[in-house]
Amino acid sequence: MTQTLAGSGVRGIVDAVRQKVKDYLLLVKLSLSIMVVFSSVVSYELAPNIVSLDWKMVLLLSLGGLLVTGSANAINQVVEKDTDAMMKRTAGRPVAAGRMSESEAWVFAFLAGVLGIGILKFFFSWQAAALGAFSLFLYAFIYTPLKKVNSTAVLVGAVPGALPCLIGWAAAYDNGPLFNWTGGLVLFGIQFLWQFPHFWAIAWVAHGDYSRAGFRLLPSEKGPTRFTAVQAVTYALAQFPVGILPYMLHMSGVVSLAVVALANVFLLVQCIRLLTEMSVKAARRVMFSSYIYLPVVFLALLFDKVHIVIN
Protein backbone atom coordinates (compact mmCIF):
# COMPACT_ATOMS: atom_id res chain seq x y z
CA MET A 1 0.00 0.00 0.00
CA THR A 2 2.82 2.39 0.93
CA GLN A 3 4.61 1.63 -2.36
CA THR A 4 1.40 2.23 -4.32
CA LEU A 5 0.86 5.59 -2.62
CA ALA A 6 4.49 6.53 -3.21
CA GLY A 7 4.19 5.57 -6.88
CA SER A 8 1.04 7.65 -7.24
CA GLY A 9 2.77 10.57 -5.57
CA VAL A 10 5.73 10.39 -7.95
CA ARG A 11 3.41 10.16 -10.96
CA GLY A 12 1.49 13.15 -9.66
CA ILE A 13 4.68 15.20 -9.37
CA VAL A 14 5.81 14.14 -12.85
CA ASP A 15 2.40 15.05 -14.32
CA ALA A 16 2.43 18.42 -12.55
CA VAL A 17 5.93 19.21 -13.85
CA ARG A 18 4.97 18.13 -17.35
CA GLN A 19 1.89 20.36 -17.27
CA LYS A 20 3.92 23.31 -15.96
CA VAL A 21 6.49 22.93 -18.74
CA LYS A 22 3.67 22.69 -21.29
CA ASP A 23 2.08 25.84 -19.86
CA TYR A 24 5.31 27.82 -20.12
CA LEU A 25 5.74 26.71 -23.72
CA LEU A 26 2.22 27.96 -24.39
CA LEU A 27 2.94 31.18 -22.50
CA VAL A 28 5.89 32.05 -24.73
CA LYS A 29 4.06 30.87 -27.90
CA LEU A 30 6.98 28.62 -28.80
CA SER A 31 6.20 28.17 -32.51
CA LEU A 32 5.90 31.94 -33.02
CA SER A 33 9.05 32.56 -30.95
CA ILE A 34 11.01 30.05 -33.04
CA MET A 35 9.99 31.89 -36.21
CA VAL A 36 11.20 35.15 -34.65
CA VAL A 37 14.53 33.58 -33.69
CA PHE A 38 14.89 32.13 -37.20
CA SER A 39 14.56 35.59 -38.79
CA SER A 40 17.02 37.08 -36.32
CA VAL A 41 19.65 34.36 -36.79
CA VAL A 42 19.44 34.43 -40.59
CA SER A 43 19.75 38.23 -40.58
CA TYR A 44 22.77 37.95 -38.27
CA GLU A 45 24.43 35.46 -40.62
CA LEU A 46 23.64 37.63 -43.65
CA ALA A 47 25.62 40.57 -42.23
CA PRO A 48 28.75 41.07 -44.38
CA ASN A 49 31.20 40.84 -41.48
CA ILE A 50 29.96 37.37 -40.45
CA VAL A 51 31.96 34.93 -42.58
CA SER A 52 31.53 31.66 -40.68
CA LEU A 53 29.01 29.86 -38.51
CA ASP A 54 29.81 30.37 -34.82
CA TRP A 55 27.42 28.06 -32.98
CA LYS A 56 28.07 29.68 -29.62
CA MET A 57 26.98 33.09 -30.87
CA VAL A 58 24.03 31.65 -32.80
CA LEU A 59 22.81 29.86 -29.67
CA LEU A 60 23.23 32.99 -27.54
CA LEU A 61 21.35 35.10 -30.09
CA SER A 62 18.63 32.44 -30.21
CA LEU A 63 18.37 32.39 -26.43
CA GLY A 64 18.24 36.18 -26.18
CA GLY A 65 15.60 36.35 -28.90
CA LEU A 66 13.50 33.60 -27.31
CA LEU A 67 13.56 35.33 -23.93
CA VAL A 68 12.60 38.77 -25.29
CA THR A 69 9.86 37.33 -27.49
CA GLY A 70 8.66 35.07 -24.69
CA SER A 71 8.44 38.06 -22.37
CA ALA A 72 6.32 40.01 -24.88
CA ASN A 73 4.06 37.01 -25.47
CA ALA A 74 3.61 36.45 -21.73
CA ILE A 75 2.54 40.07 -21.22
CA ASN A 76 0.20 39.72 -24.20
CA GLN A 77 -1.49 36.73 -22.56
CA VAL A 78 -1.92 38.47 -19.21
CA VAL A 79 -3.45 41.54 -20.83
CA GLU A 80 -5.70 39.46 -23.08
CA LYS A 81 -6.64 36.71 -20.62
CA ASP A 82 -10.35 37.55 -20.73
CA THR A 83 -10.53 37.76 -24.51
CA ASP A 84 -8.38 34.64 -24.87
CA ALA A 85 -10.95 32.78 -22.78
CA MET A 86 -13.66 33.73 -25.31
CA MET A 87 -11.89 32.21 -28.31
CA LYS A 88 -11.60 28.51 -29.10
CA ARG A 89 -8.06 28.79 -30.42
CA THR A 90 -6.75 30.54 -27.27
CA ALA A 91 -9.01 29.35 -24.44
CA GLY A 92 -6.47 26.71 -23.42
CA ARG A 93 -3.67 29.19 -22.78
CA PRO A 94 -2.45 28.95 -19.17
CA VAL A 95 -3.50 32.38 -17.86
CA ALA A 96 -6.84 32.38 -19.70
CA ALA A 97 -7.60 28.86 -18.45
CA GLY A 98 -6.64 29.73 -14.86
CA ARG A 99 -3.77 27.25 -14.64
CA MET A 100 -1.27 30.09 -14.14
CA SER A 101 -1.77 33.23 -12.08
CA GLU A 102 -1.28 36.69 -13.53
CA SER A 103 1.48 37.40 -11.00
CA GLU A 104 3.42 34.29 -12.05
CA ALA A 105 3.18 35.31 -15.71
CA TRP A 106 4.26 38.88 -14.89
CA VAL A 107 7.29 37.66 -12.91
CA PHE A 108 8.29 35.40 -15.79
CA ALA A 109 7.81 38.22 -18.31
CA PHE A 110 9.98 40.61 -16.27
CA LEU A 111 12.80 38.11 -15.69
CA ALA A 112 12.78 36.83 -19.28
CA GLY A 113 12.77 40.36 -20.69
CA VAL A 114 15.64 41.58 -18.52
CA LEU A 115 17.72 38.45 -19.16
CA GLY A 116 17.06 38.47 -22.91
CA ILE A 117 17.95 42.15 -23.32
CA GLY A 118 21.00 41.59 -21.10
CA ILE A 119 22.23 38.77 -23.36
CA LEU A 120 21.83 40.96 -26.44
CA LYS A 121 23.76 43.79 -24.76
CA PHE A 122 26.54 41.77 -23.11
CA PHE A 123 27.32 39.31 -25.93
CA PHE A 124 26.38 41.40 -28.97
CA SER A 125 25.75 45.17 -29.08
CA TRP A 126 23.84 47.95 -27.43
CA GLN A 127 22.00 48.52 -30.72
CA ALA A 128 20.64 44.95 -30.66
CA ALA A 129 19.64 45.33 -26.99
CA ALA A 130 17.90 48.66 -27.61
CA LEU A 131 15.99 47.26 -30.58
CA GLY A 132 15.00 44.23 -28.52
CA ALA A 133 13.67 46.42 -25.70
CA PHE A 134 11.79 48.64 -28.16
CA SER A 135 10.27 45.61 -29.88
CA LEU A 136 9.09 44.16 -26.55
CA PHE A 137 7.54 47.46 -25.49
CA LEU A 138 5.83 48.10 -28.83
CA TYR A 139 4.32 44.60 -29.03
CA ALA A 140 3.24 44.23 -25.41
CA PHE A 141 2.09 47.74 -24.53
CA ILE A 142 1.06 49.39 -27.83
CA TYR A 143 0.02 46.69 -30.31
CA THR A 144 -1.75 44.45 -27.77
CA PRO A 145 -4.26 47.02 -26.43
CA LEU A 146 -4.65 48.64 -29.88
CA LYS A 147 -6.10 45.43 -31.32
CA LYS A 148 -9.46 46.29 -29.74
CA VAL A 149 -9.42 49.90 -30.90
CA ASN A 150 -8.59 49.99 -34.60
CA SER A 151 -7.34 47.79 -37.44
CA THR A 152 -4.21 49.97 -37.63
CA ALA A 153 -3.00 47.62 -34.88
CA VAL A 154 -1.86 45.30 -37.68
CA LEU A 155 0.36 48.05 -39.09
CA VAL A 156 1.76 48.81 -35.63
CA GLY A 157 2.24 45.11 -34.84
CA ALA A 158 4.11 44.55 -38.10
CA VAL A 159 6.96 46.73 -36.77
CA PRO A 160 7.94 44.51 -33.79
CA GLY A 161 7.11 41.56 -36.04
CA ALA A 162 9.88 42.60 -38.43
CA LEU A 163 12.36 44.03 -35.90
CA PRO A 164 14.03 40.60 -35.33
CA CYS A 165 15.70 41.15 -38.71
CA LEU A 166 17.23 44.43 -37.54
CA ILE A 167 18.10 42.92 -34.15
CA GLY A 168 20.01 40.10 -35.85
CA TRP A 169 21.75 42.52 -38.20
CA ALA A 170 22.72 44.83 -35.32
CA ALA A 171 23.94 41.85 -33.27
CA ALA A 172 26.59 41.22 -35.92
CA TYR A 173 28.25 44.56 -35.16
CA ASP A 174 30.08 44.04 -31.87
CA ASN A 175 29.57 47.34 -29.99
CA GLY A 176 31.69 49.08 -32.56
CA PRO A 177 30.98 52.34 -34.37
CA LEU A 178 27.59 52.94 -35.95
CA PHE A 179 27.08 50.46 -38.73
CA ASN A 180 25.41 50.48 -42.16
CA TRP A 181 21.71 49.83 -41.57
CA THR A 182 20.87 49.29 -45.25
CA GLY A 183 21.00 45.49 -45.38
CA GLY A 184 19.10 45.12 -42.11
CA LEU A 185 16.42 47.54 -43.32
CA VAL A 186 15.97 45.52 -46.52
CA LEU A 187 15.42 42.32 -44.51
CA PHE A 188 13.11 44.26 -42.20
CA GLY A 189 11.14 45.40 -45.26
CA ILE A 190 10.72 41.85 -46.58
CA GLN A 191 9.39 40.57 -43.27
CA PHE A 192 7.32 43.72 -42.65
CA LEU A 193 5.41 43.41 -45.94
CA TRP A 194 5.04 39.63 -45.58
CA GLN A 195 3.05 40.04 -42.39
CA PHE A 196 0.03 41.72 -44.00
CA PRO A 197 -1.23 38.93 -46.28
CA HIS A 198 -0.10 36.44 -43.63
CA PHE A 199 -1.97 38.02 -40.74
CA TRP A 200 -5.05 39.06 -42.71
CA ALA A 201 -5.41 35.47 -43.90
CA ILE A 202 -5.33 34.30 -40.27
CA ALA A 203 -7.83 37.01 -39.27
CA TRP A 204 -10.07 35.97 -42.19
CA VAL A 205 -10.06 32.31 -41.12
CA ALA A 206 -10.57 33.15 -37.42
CA HIS A 207 -12.92 36.10 -37.99
CA GLY A 208 -15.70 34.65 -35.83
CA ASP A 209 -13.41 34.16 -32.84
CA TYR A 210 -11.79 37.58 -33.23
CA SER A 211 -15.16 39.33 -33.55
CA ARG A 212 -16.49 37.73 -30.37
CA ALA A 213 -13.38 38.90 -28.54
CA GLY A 214 -13.78 42.44 -29.85
CA PHE A 215 -10.62 42.49 -31.96
CA ARG A 216 -10.55 44.74 -35.02
CA LEU A 217 -7.88 43.26 -37.22
CA LEU A 218 -9.21 43.25 -40.78
CA PRO A 219 -8.94 46.40 -42.94
CA SER A 220 -12.73 46.59 -43.31
CA GLU A 221 -15.03 46.92 -40.32
CA LYS A 222 -17.49 44.71 -42.22
CA GLY A 223 -15.17 41.73 -41.84
CA PRO A 224 -13.78 39.56 -44.64
CA THR A 225 -14.54 41.67 -47.71
CA ARG A 226 -13.10 42.26 -51.16
CA PHE A 227 -11.24 45.26 -49.75
CA THR A 228 -9.26 42.95 -47.45
CA ALA A 229 -8.37 40.69 -50.39
CA VAL A 230 -7.29 43.70 -52.47
CA GLN A 231 -5.03 44.82 -49.62
CA ALA A 232 -3.45 41.37 -49.44
CA VAL A 233 -2.77 41.46 -53.19
CA THR A 234 -1.30 44.97 -52.89
CA TYR A 235 1.20 43.97 -50.20
CA ALA A 236 2.10 40.80 -52.08
CA LEU A 237 2.87 42.94 -55.15
CA ALA A 238 5.00 45.27 -53.00
CA GLN A 239 7.26 42.32 -52.21
CA PHE A 240 8.56 42.23 -55.80
CA PRO A 241 10.62 45.47 -55.78
CA VAL A 242 11.78 44.87 -52.20
CA GLY A 243 12.77 41.31 -53.09
CA ILE A 244 15.17 42.61 -55.76
CA LEU A 245 17.10 44.79 -53.30
CA PRO A 246 19.32 42.05 -51.75
CA TYR A 247 20.66 41.33 -55.24
CA MET A 248 21.03 45.01 -56.14
CA LEU A 249 22.93 45.65 -52.89
CA HIS A 250 25.18 42.61 -53.44
CA MET A 251 23.89 40.89 -50.32
CA SER A 252 23.15 37.77 -52.35
CA GLY A 253 23.39 36.43 -55.88
CA VAL A 254 21.29 35.52 -58.88
CA VAL A 255 20.15 32.16 -57.47
CA SER A 256 18.39 33.74 -54.52
CA LEU A 257 17.01 36.45 -56.82
CA ALA A 258 15.27 33.74 -58.85
CA VAL A 259 14.04 31.90 -55.74
CA VAL A 260 12.68 35.08 -54.17
CA ALA A 261 10.93 36.03 -57.42
CA LEU A 262 9.28 32.59 -57.63
CA ALA A 263 8.25 32.77 -53.97
CA ASN A 264 6.71 36.20 -54.60
CA VAL A 265 4.78 34.85 -57.59
CA PHE A 266 3.58 31.91 -55.49
CA LEU A 267 2.30 34.15 -52.69
CA LEU A 268 0.74 36.64 -55.12
CA VAL A 269 -1.16 33.87 -56.91
CA GLN A 270 -2.67 32.71 -53.62
CA CYS A 271 -3.70 36.29 -52.76
CA ILE A 272 -5.30 36.69 -56.20
CA ARG A 273 -7.19 33.44 -55.65
CA LEU A 274 -8.47 34.89 -52.38
CA LEU A 275 -9.66 37.96 -54.29
CA THR A 276 -11.49 35.87 -56.89
CA GLU A 277 -12.89 33.17 -54.59
CA MET A 278 -13.54 35.19 -51.41
CA SER A 279 -13.62 32.07 -49.22
CA VAL A 280 -12.18 30.74 -45.99
CA LYS A 281 -10.54 27.96 -48.01
CA ALA A 282 -8.72 30.52 -50.14
CA ALA A 283 -7.68 32.48 -47.03
CA ARG A 284 -6.32 29.30 -45.52
CA ARG A 285 -4.23 28.76 -48.68
CA VAL A 286 -2.76 32.26 -48.28
CA MET A 287 -2.02 31.52 -44.62
CA PHE A 288 -0.17 28.27 -45.32
CA SER A 289 1.60 29.75 -48.36
CA SER A 290 2.90 32.58 -46.19
CA TYR A 291 4.27 30.06 -43.68
CA ILE A 292 6.29 28.53 -46.51
CA TYR A 293 7.29 31.85 -48.07
CA LEU A 294 9.43 33.35 -45.32
CA PRO A 295 11.79 30.42 -44.60
CA VAL A 296 12.23 29.79 -48.35
CA VAL A 297 13.15 33.43 -49.03
CA PHE A 298 15.45 33.84 -46.05
CA LEU A 299 17.23 30.52 -46.53
CA ALA A 300 17.71 31.29 -50.24
CA LEU A 301 19.33 34.62 -49.34
CA LEU A 302 21.53 32.95 -46.74
CA PHE A 303 22.58 30.17 -49.13
CA ASP A 304 23.59 32.68 -51.76
CA LYS A 305 25.48 34.82 -49.25
CA VAL A 306 27.42 31.80 -47.99
CA HIS A 307 28.12 30.76 -51.58
CA ILE A 308 29.57 34.19 -52.38
CA VAL A 309 31.80 34.19 -49.29
CA ILE A 310 33.19 30.70 -49.99
CA ASN A 311 34.01 31.51 -53.57
Give the other-Cβ count within 10 Å of 115's Cβ. Answer: 16
* Pick from 67, 69, 74, 72: nearest CA to 100: 74
Q: Is the pLDDT of residue 178 over 60?
A: no
The pLDDT of residue 7 is: 59
DSSP-based helix, strand, coil % in the chain, nearest 5: 80, 0, 20
Give the tens place of pLDDT for each residue, 189-246: 999 999 999 999 988 888 777 777 777 777 777 778 899 999 999 999 999 999 999 9
Give the tens place of pLDDT for each residue, 250-285: 899 999 999 999 999 999 999 999 999 999 999 999
The pLDDT of residue 3 is: 57
The pLDDT of residue 2 is: 58
CB-count burial class (<10 Å; 0-12, 13-18, 19+) for 251: buried
Q: Is the pLDDT of residue 311 over 50?
A: no
Under a CB-based contact definition with an 8 Å cutoff, are residues 283 and 233 in contact? Answer: no
Label residue 11 by pLDDT band (50, 70, 90): confident
Helix (H, G, I), strand (E, B) or coil at 49: coil
Q: Tell me the CA distances in angstroms from 21 to 28, 30, 65, one per residue in order.
A: 11, 12, 19
Q: Is the pLDDT of residue 95 over 80?
A: yes
* Pick from 52, 17, 306, 300: nearest CA to 172: 52
The residue type at 28 = V
Under a CB-based contact definition with an 8 Å cutoff, are residues 109 and 76 in contact? Answer: no
Under a CB-based contact definition with an 8 Å cutoff, are residues 61 and 124 in contact? Answer: yes
Give the tens place of pLDDT for each residue, 115-174: 999 999 999 999 999 999 999 999 999 998 888 887 788 889 999 999 999 999 999 987
Give the tens place of pLDDT for each residue, 19-77: 888 988 888 888 888 998 999 999 999 988 877 778 999 999 999 999 999 999 999 99
Under a CB-based contact definition with an 8 Å cutoff, are residues 287 and 279 in contact? Answer: no
Helix (H, G, I), strand (E, B) or coil at 90: coil
The whole model's pTM is what? 0.89
Give the integer Cα–Cα distance in Å for 213 and 144.
13
The pLDDT of residue 307 is: 54
Q: Is the pLDDT of residue 306 over 90?
A: no
Give the integer Cα–Cα distance in Å for 137 and 117.
12
With the C-alpha atoms ordered 299, 300, 302, 307, is the resulting torsion angle positive or negative?
Answer: positive
User: Integer distance in angstroms from the first to the last C-alpha of the chain?
Assistant: 71
Q: Which residue has the higher pLDDT, 222 or 97?
A: 97
Give the best-scoring range by mean pLDDT among 41-55, 78-92, 124-138, 293-307. 124-138
